[in-house]
Chain A
Amino acid sequence: MIGAGQVQRSDVLIIGGGLMGATTAFFLRHQHKLSVTLLERGQIGRQASGVNFGNVRRQGRELAQIPLANRARAVWGRVRGLLGEDIEFRPYGHLRVCYTETQAAILEQHVRDVEPLGLELQMFSPQALRQRWGIFSSEVVAGSLSPLDGHANPRLAGPAFGRAARRAGAAIHEHTEVSHVERDGADFLAHSVDGRRFRAGQLLVTSGAWSGHFAAAFGEPVPLDARGPQMGVTEPLPYAIGPSIGVSTPVEVEGLYFRQIARGNIVFGGGLKGSAFADLQRAYVRPDNVLRQMRELRRFVPAFAQVQLLRVWSGIEGYTADWAPVMGPSARVAGLHYAFGFNGEGFAISPGVGEVMAELLATGQTSTPIEAFSIGRFAR
C-alpha cells in the first residue's frame, strides 16, 4: 500500500470539511489545543455549506435548537475578530411574516415560547410592517422580528474557518476522500482512496449528506435524504432591506425567503426542493421551481415583477427523517462523534455546532443541551 509506512496520528480526526467540520477543527485548536486532522474530499466549504442562503436565524427553529442557536449567535458576534476577516455577517435582523391569522397565532405563540430561552422577538401588525419596510403585499397579515439575527456570506464562511483552523495548527487535507474507517486498538484508522492513512483517538463524522455510510458502517444507520435547495440572485438594486425576510407557512411552495446584500443584489430561496444526487455530487434547479418561486415572490413583495433574475444554483443538503440534526457522541462506539443532517438550516448554528463539538471532544461534555439530537434515537 502506498504510504503505508507513514501514518499520521492526531487527537481528533474529522471527516468532512463543510462548515461543521471546519468550525469544529478551528475551536479544537483555538480553545482546547488538541491536535486535529481534517479530511475533505473536495475543497473546504462546498455543497450545502457554500451554496445555502446564508441565514443567521434563530426564530422559527424547534425549541430544542434554541440554546444551540443562541450559542452560535454569540460566536457570530465575535466572528470577525476570531477569523481576522469579514465574512459579511450583518446583524440587521430576521423577519418572519405570514399570510393567515392562524399562522399569526403560531408566530405569537413562538414569541412566548422562546422568550424564557433568551430569545426576544417583536410582533408586527401589517400596518407596522408596511410602515417600516413598505414592500409587502396586502396578503401579509403579521410579522415577527428577531432584531439581533441577520445574515452572512456562505461562500466565504467555510473557507475562512478552514484557513483560520489551519493557521491555528489544524492539519487540513483537501482532495482527500476517505474510503473507510476501521478500529485499530483504541484508535480509529481512516484510509483515503489514494492509499494514505490517518490515525486518531477520536473521530468526528461531519460529511453532510454523505455521512450515512460512515454511520452505517459503525452500526448506526440513519435515514438520510439528499435534497437541493433552489437558490437565486437578482440584479443589484439600491440597498434598502436590512433584515433577512421569510414567509412562515405550512404550505411548502409558499415558503420563500430573501435578503439583500451590501452590493444590492437580492438572494432568495425556498419553496420546493430540487433533485439532488449525492453519489454524483450534483444537484439541480428545476425550471418549474424557479417560475413558481417568481410567482410566490411577487405575491409576497409585488415589486419583484420589475426585477431581473441573474442566476440560480443548488447544492446538496442532508435531510433526516424527523427533521432534527444528528449531533453528539455515538450511542455504540466510544470516541466516535457525529454532526450532520442539518436539514437545510445548519448555516446559522454552524459556529455553535463547532464550539459545542470541540468542547465535547475535548472534555467529554458540553454545557449546551444536545441530547435531542443523539443518533441513538434512530435505533429505538
Chain B
Amino acid sequence: MSEPTVVVVGTGPAGVRAAEALVEAGLRPILIDEGLRDGGQIYRRQPEGFKRDYAVLYGSEASKAHGLHQTFEALRQHVDYRSETLAWNITQGHLHTVQSSQARSDEIAFDALIICSGATDRLMPVQGWNLAGCFSLGASQIALKAQACSIGSRVVFLGSGPLLYLVASQYVKAGAKVVAVLDTAPLIPPLASLRGLLSRPLLLWRGLQMMVQLKRAGVALLKGVKPLRIEGRPDQGVSGIVVTDAGGRERQFSADALGMGWHLRAESQLADLAACEFSFEPLSRQWLPRMDPDGRSSQAGVYLAGDGARILGADGAEAAGRLAALAAMNDLQLPAGRVQYQLERDRLRQQLAQMDQFRQGLARAFPWPHQQAESLPDAAVVCRCEAITAGELRRCVNELGSRELNHVKAFSRVGMGRCQGRYCGHAAAEVIAAVAHIPVETVGRLRGQAPVKPMLMNACEVSSGAQS
C-alpha cells in the first residue's frame, strides 16, 4: 500500500504539532498555510529583516513560540509546505487550493484532512464601529507583532476576555499610549466561573498580574461597562467612545483608535464546506462543528483541531493538533501511529478536558454580551462590508417575516461582503433573535459558501489533476 496522503491546513500551534506527530510516524504530510510563514496568529513571525527578539515579541510566551518555530524548522524538509496558499473549497475527499501569487490552483486528494484553521475576533457592533480607526483586537495585535505599529496615538480597548488585557498590556509594553481598557464583563464574576478559572491557576495569576501592570501604567480599567457609541466623523475617523460604567454613569474617553473584541470565534468554514455537522454550544452561544474528544468530525477522514474547532487557546491547540494527527493515523491503520495513539491518547484527552474547564470559566466570567444586540440603535451598522444596519435586519423580521439568518441574508445582504459574515454573523443572529423574541439557536447560522476567503480570479485550472 502506498503512503497515505495526509493534509494539514494551518501552521499555528495545532497544525505544527499535528505535522510533527505525522512526521514522527514516517509520513510526509502536505501543509497548507495561508500566511507567508508558519506560526499562525498567536506565534506570528515578524517579516524578514525585523530584529525584535522573542522576549520582546512574545513576552511570557516566548519560549513556547520559540519551541514551535524550532519544531517547524526541523520539520521543514520532511513536509510538503505550501505557504501563501488558500484552501478555498472541499469536495468529497479533495481539498482545493489556490496560490494567487503564482496564479496556480491544485486539487489534493487526501486520505485524511486535519483542519487547524484557527480563530478570528468575535465582535459585537457598537454604534460608530464602522468609523476609520476601529480595529479588532486581533488586528491591533497583528499591527504590533508584524509591523511594530500601534493602531493610534491614543488607544482605547473595548470588549471582554483574556485577549483584551493581553493586547492592552502588549501595547503598554511597546510604549503605545493606552487610554483605557473597557470590559463589558460584570464587575464581580459569577461564582460558577471560579471553578473553571482555578483549573489553570498559573494563567489566572498571569491575567491578574496584567491588570495590575495596566493600572500601574495609568490605564483606566473599567469593568461592567455598556458601550453607548463610538464618536467621530466619517472624514476624520474615531475621536472617542462613550460608555456607561458599572455604576450607570456616562463616561467619555477621547481616542483616535479603538481595538475591540469579545473572545474569539472559530474559523469553521472549511469544516462547513466539508459537510461536517454542527451543534449549538449554549455557553458561548455559537455553532461549532461536532467532534469527538480526539478531533474526529462527523465526516470520515476529516479531523478538527485548535481554535478552529474549540477555543482552548494556544496550549490547547498544541495538544489537540497532536491528538487529531494520532487519531487520524490510528484510523488509517498505520502501525506507528496506532501505538502512539494508544500511548498518548488518555494524557492528551485529560489535558484538553482541563483546558475546556478553563474555557468554560472564561466564558462565564467574560460573557459574550448578547444583550447589547437588543439595545443596538436602528442606525448602527451591523455588517460593515455591506453597510447593513440593525434597523434593516429588524425590518426583515418585522415586515418581511424572516426568522432565519440565511433568509435575512437573502433579503438584506447581511454577510454577503468580503468577510462573508465572519465578523457580523453572530451579532446579526442576536439582533434577529432579540427582535423576533426567539432563541438565537433557532435563527441558525450563515451557511458556508466557497471560496473560504476572497480569491483572486487569476488562478489557472488544475494542470495535472493530482498532488505533488
**Interface positions of A (Cβ within 8 A of B):** 43, 50, 155-156, 159, 163, 233-236, 263, 284-288, 290-292, 294-295, 297-298, 304-313
What is the CA–CA distance of A366 and B88 in the complex, to the nearest angstrom? 50
> What residues of A have a CB within 8 angstroms of the CB of B407 in the complex?
43
- B201 at the binding interface (Cβ < 8 Å): no
Return the CB mask of B446-468 against A: 1 if under 8 Å, else 0.
00011100111111111000000
Q: How far is the CB of B214 from chain A (nearest CB, A)?
A: 39
Known: A43-B407, A263-B386, A287-B450. A310 touches B457 (CB 8 A): no
- Is the pair B456, A306 in contact by a Cβ cutoff of 8 Å? yes
Cβ contacts under 8 Å, B55 to chain A = none
Q: Cβ of B456 and Cβ of A308 under 8 Å apart?
A: yes
Establish whether residues A304 and B457, one from each chain, have CB atoms under 8 Å apart when the complex forms.
Answer: yes
User: Once the chains bind, are A311 and B420 in contact (CB under 8 Å)?
Assistant: yes
Residue B17 at the chain A interface, CB threshold 8 Å: no
**Residues of A contacting B454 in the complex (Cβ-Cβ under 8 angstroms):** 235, 308-310
CB pair B456–A291 under 8 Å, yes or no, is: no
B461 neighbours in A (Cβ, 8 Å): 288, 291-292, 295
Closest residue of B by beta carbon distance from A285? B450
| 8 A Cβ contacts from B398-421 to A | 400, 407, 410-411, 413, 416-418, 420
B residues less than 8 Å from A286 (CB atoms) = 91
Interchain nearest-CB distance for B277 vs A (Å): 15
Does B105 sit at the interface, judged by CB under 8 A?
A: yes
Q: How far is the CA of A295 from the CA of B105 in the complex (A)?
A: 12
Are A306 and B458 neighbours in the complex by a CB distance under 8 Å? yes
Report the bound CA distance from A290 to B96 in whole Å: 11
Give A298 to B103 CA distance when docked, in angstroms.
13
Question: Which residues does chain A contribute within 8 Å of B451, judged by CB atoms?
Answer: 309-312
Residue of B nearest to A45 (CB): B410
Q: Is B297 part of the contact surface with A, judged by Cβ < 8 Å?
A: no
Query: Bound state CA distance, A298 and B420, in angstroms?
Result: 24
CB of B456 to closest CB in A, whole Å: 6
Q: Is B411 in contact with A305, judged by CB distance below 8 angstroms?
A: no
Chain B positions within 8 Å of A291 at CB level: 105, 459-462
Q: Which residues of chain A are near B245, meaning CB under 8 Å?
A: none
CB distance from B107 to the nearest CB of A (A): 7
* Nearest CB in chain B to that of A312: its residue: B450
B449 to A312, Cβ gap below 8 A?
A: yes
Most buried by A among B88, B420, B450, B457: B457
Nearest A residue to B90 via CB reads A287
A159 close to B455 (CB less than 8 A): no
User: CA–CA, A50 to B455, complex, Å?
Assistant: 24
B89 sits at the interface (CB 8 A): yes
The 5 closest A-B pairs by CB, nearest first: A308-B454, A305-B458, A287-B96, A155-B410, A291-B461
Looking at chain B's contact residues, is the secondary structure mostly helix, strand, loop, or mixed? Answer: loop
Min CB distance B289 to A, Å, is: 19
- Can you name the residue of chain B whose Cβ is closest to the Cβ of A292? B461
Q: A156-B411, A159-B411, A291-B105 are in contact. Are A297 and B457 (CB under 8 A)?
A: yes
Whether A263 lies near B418 (C-beta < 8 A) is no
Is the pair B462, A288 in contact by a Cβ cutoff of 8 Å?
yes
- With most chain A CB atoms within 10 A of its CB, the pick from B411, B413, B449 is B449
| Whole-angstrom CA separation of A233 from B451 in the bound complex | 11
- Contact across chains for B457 and A294 when beta carbons are under 8 A apart: yes
Asked whether, in the complex, the Cβ of B411 is within 8 Å of the Cβ of A234, the reply is: no
How distant is the Cα of A305 from the Cα of B457 in the complex, in angstroms? Answer: 5
Contact across chains for B411 and A298 when beta carbons are under 8 A apart: no
Q: Are the CB atoms of A155 and B417 closer together than 8 Å?
A: no
Contacts of A298 in B (CB 8 A): 457-458
B429-448 residues with Cβ-Cβ distance < 8 A to A are none
CA distance in complex: A305, B407 (Å): 32
A/B interface sample: 10 pairs, CB < 8 A? A235-B418, A286-B91, A287-B89, A288-B462, A291-B105, A291-B459, A291-B461, A295-B460, A295-B461, A310-B418
Which A residues touch B91, using CB under 8 A?
A: 284, 286-287
B14-69 residues with Cβ-Cβ distance < 8 A to A are none
Distance in angstroms from A73 CB to nearest chain B CB is 25
Specify which chain A residues have a CB less than 8 angstroms from the CB of B456 in the assembled complex: 305-309
Q: Which of A50, A234, A235, A292 has the most CB of B within 10 A?
A: A235
How far, in angstroms, from A304 to B103 measured CA to CA in the complex? 13
Q: Nearest Cβ distance between residue B99 and chain A, in whole angstroms?
A: 13
Known: A234-B457, A305-B458, A308-B457. A290 touches B450 (CB 8 A): yes
Q: How far is the CB of A346 from chain B (nearest CB, A)?
A: 18
17 additional contacts, CB 8 Å, given A263-B386, A287-B96, A309-B457?
A43-B407, A155-B411, A234-B457, A286-B91, A287-B88, A287-B107, A290-B450, A291-B105, A291-B461, A294-B459, A295-B461, A298-B457, A309-B454, A310-B417, A310-B418, A311-B450, A313-B449
Q: Are B107 and A307 in contact (CB under 8 A)?
A: no
Residue of A159, A163, A287, A307 near B457 (CB, 8 A) is A307
Report the minimal beta-carbon distance from B411 to chain A, rounded to whole angstroms: 7
Measured between beta carbons, the chain A residues less than 8 angstroms from B88 are 287
CB distance from A264 to the nearest CB of B (A): 11
Render B164-206 as a binary contact track against A, CB cut-off 8 A, 1 for contact: 0000000000000000000000000000000000000000000
Please, which residues of chain B bring their CB within 8 A of the CB of A308? 418, 454-457
Check A159–B400 contact: CB distance below 8 A.
Answer: yes
Which residue of B has the minimal Cβ distance to A307? B457
Contacts of A287 in B (CB 8 A): 88-89, 91, 94, 96, 107, 450
Q: Which residues of B contact A309 (CB under 8 A)?
A: 451, 454-457
Interfacial chain B residues near A155, Cβ < 8 Å: 410-411
The distance from the CB of B183 to the nearest CB of chain A, in whole angstroms, is 34
Closest Cβ of chain A: how far from B170's Cβ, in Å?
31
Complex formed: what's the CA distance from A149 to B65 in Å? Answer: 60
What B residues does A233 contact at CB under 8 A? 416
CB distance from B81 to the nearest CB of A (A): 22
Q: How far is the CB of A309 from chain B (nearest CB, A)?
A: 5
